[in-house]
Amino acid sequence: MKKCGKIVSETWNLKKSFSKFVTNNYIDRIYHKYINKLSYGGKLLGAGNGGFILTIFDLKKKKKIIKDLKKYQYLNIKLENSGTVIL
């Protein structure tokens, strides 16, 4: 998970290098305060005036991250080991 988090952060930094309009001060403050200090990595997902911040973190820090970001919507995402499944 640490390697995955690092790769996700690297893609975010690469995306930011394309244009100064990819991010703003508000997003950067959230990213640096929570993603850099509490998780393995993360990036902004979505486009325009909405989106999500994806973060990969140690489950031991989950309660702290959710508490610190309580004014934002939290969506729990889990990895699936069996791959694509037709329902």
- Residue 62 in domain: yes
Residue 78 covered by a domain? no
For the cut 90, the answer to whether the pLDDT of residue 17 exceeds it is: yes
Averaged pLDDT, 28-49: 83
In-domain check, residue 85 = no
Residue type, 27: I
Helix (H) or strand (E) holding 54: strand 52-56
Is the residue at 73 inside a domain? no
pTM: 0.74
pLDDT given for residue 82 in this prediction: 83
Considering the domain boundaries, does residue 52 fall inside one?
Answer: yes
- What is the phi/psi pair of residue 44, to 5°? -85, 135
For residues 50-66, give the mean pLDDT. 86
What's the total number of domains in the chain? 1
Any domain includes 79 = no
Domain that holds residue 48: 2-68
CA dihedral 51, 55, 61, 66 (to 10 degrees): 0
